[in-house]
């Protein structure tokens, strides 16, 4: 199937399955559209129900998460709490592994050196490329990572995971640049098609295909002055195949190895020959046809939404356990306050009677 037909097919599949779209806003719950019964699919239906249920679940209110994180900072317990929550998240989710995996790749030895030793991070510094502001830059030759935003405090990470099940935006940019560091230090050469380099980094940073569908990402990048060196059609092809590799459960390291051996670009088909062969093997192994592949992409996105909710609920649970006394005290005060409010309303309604 040529690229144009592939995109058309993937798009019509996505539109037909709007009903399975996971959350586009994490809180308050975003109502799901009704599923067109002619497109109803048992495999996706089984994922849609837990996603819908989990997105409505919470252990703590926003103000209680804030209170607990404040206390965690005051008592120097942010790091142990993050470790505890992340340990549990790691055990109970599968699609968030990319975060942990990237962290491990960064600490691994390459020729006796770790990336953490020779790729320093600079936070809160201007990042200008082609006269445009960028969120972050990876310098291949120095090597160095610059991030425009200030480094978030660990407490902000804890609060973001508890509230939304995702890392703060500045850390997501950090993940994007770390992906580049891994790409240029883990493979045989520094010659990788730039479209594949960016497609993988963006999809590591972006946690939801429902929030950033294929066409939105491609348009954003194609119209940005930062990426004048990218070819739009090749970028279309790169995002398409990276989304499929991710959905098939490939690790970031496996994807890096593949894009180092992408093979020749086939202009007519709109794909890289080496990647195409690998994808065909993956599909054969999993017994997937084109439709099955698209279904796998949708299922992966729903599973990620489920994992984000799981991460949020786990972290809220860890915070509740650590600061139960104070959270309960705040709840009692809130209850008293809301009862006090209704008393006030009652007595106000009595005023005219009293004054008459
Ligand atoms: Zn990049």
Q: How far is the CA of 217 from the centre of ligand 1 (A)?
A: 13
Tokens of 342: 């209704």
Residue 128 lies in a domain: no
- Cα–Cα distance between 345 and 353 in angstroms, integer? 14
**The whole model's pTM is what?**
0.88
Give yes or no for a contact between 191 and 115, defined as CB atoms under 8 angstroms apart.
no
Tell me the pLDDT of the chain averaged across its residues.
87
Residue 141 lies in a domain: no
Residue 58 lies in a domain: yes
User: Average pLDDT of 193-206?
Assistant: 95
Q: How far is the CA of 261 from the centre of ligand 1 (A)?
A: 19
- Cα–Cα distance between 265 and 101 in angstroms, integer? 29
Q: How far is the CA of 137 from the centre of ligand 1 (A)?
A: 7
pLDDT band at 18 (very low <50, low <70, confident <90, very high): low
Residue 142 lies in a domain: no
Residue located via tokens 């705040």:
330
Q: How far is the CA of 60 from the centre of ligand 1 (A)?
A: 36
Phi, psi of 40 (to 5 degrees): -60, 140
Q: Where are the beta strands (DSSP E) in the chain?
A: 109-110, 113-114, 121-123, 128-129, 132-133, 136-139, 144-147, 265-266, 271-272
Question: Which position has the higher pLDDT, 350 or 80?
Answer: 80
Nearest of 191, 324, 333, 327 to residue 265 by alpha carbon: 191
Q: How far is the CA of 210 from the centre of ligand 1 (A)?
A: 21
Q: How far is the CA of 235 from the centre of ligand 1 (A)?
A: 13
Domain residues for 17? 3-107+154-323
Q: What does the pLDDT look like over 235-287, one tens digit per residue?
A: 999 999 999 999 999 999 999 999 999 999 999 999 999 999 999 999 999 99
Question: In degrees to the nearest 10, what's the CA dihedral of 210, 203, 285, 288?
Answer: 30
Residue 343 lies in a domain: no
Residue 179 lies in a domain: yes
Q: How far is the CA of 177 from the centre of ligand 1 (A)?
A: 6
């Amino acid at each position: 199937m040529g690229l144009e037909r592939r995109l058309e097919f993937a798009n019509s599949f996505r539109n037909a399955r709007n009903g399975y779209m996971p959350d586009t806003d994490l809180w308050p719950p975003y109502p799901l559209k009704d599923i067109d019964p002619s497109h109803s699919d048992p495999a996706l239906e089984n994922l849609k129900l837990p996603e819908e249920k989990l997105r409505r679940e919470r252990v703590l209110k926003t103000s209680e998460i804030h209170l607990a994180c404040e206390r965690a900072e005051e008592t120097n317990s942010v790091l142990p709490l993050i470790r505890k929550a992340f340990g549990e998240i790691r055990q109970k989710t599968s699609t968030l592994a990319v975060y942990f995996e990237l962290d491990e790749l960064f600490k691994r030895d390459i020729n006796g050196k770790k990336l953490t030793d020779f790729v320093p991070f600079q936070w809160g510094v201007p990042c200008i490329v082609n006269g445009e502001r960028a969120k972050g830059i990876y310098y291949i030759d120095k090597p160095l990572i610059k991030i425009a935003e200030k480094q978030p405090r660990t407490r902000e990470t804890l609060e973001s995971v508890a509230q939304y099940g995702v890392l703060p935006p500045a850390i997501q940019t950090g993940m994007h640049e770390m992906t580049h560091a891994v790409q240029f230090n883990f493979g045989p050469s520094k010659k990788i098609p730039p479209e594949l380099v960016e497609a993988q980094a963006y999809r590591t940073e972006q946690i939801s295909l429902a929030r950033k569908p294929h066409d939105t990402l491609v348009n954003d990048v194609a119209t940005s002055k930062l990426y004048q060196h990218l070819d739009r059609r090749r970028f279309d092809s790169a995002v398409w195949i990276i989304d499929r590799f991710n959905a098939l459960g490939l690790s970031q390291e496996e994807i890096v190895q593949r894009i180092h051996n992408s093979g020749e670009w086939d202009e007519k088909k709109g794909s890289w020959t080496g990647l195409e062969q690998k994808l065909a093997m993956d599909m054969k192994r999993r017994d997937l046809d084109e439709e099955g592949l698209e279904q796998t992409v949708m299922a992966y996105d729903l599973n990620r939404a489920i994992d984000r909710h799981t991460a949020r609920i786990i972290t809220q649970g860890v915070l509740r356990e650590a600061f139960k006394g104070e959270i309960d005290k705040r709840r009692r005060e809130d209850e008293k306050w809301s009862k006090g409010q209704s008393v006030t309303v009652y007595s106000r309604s009595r005023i005219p009677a009293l004054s008459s």
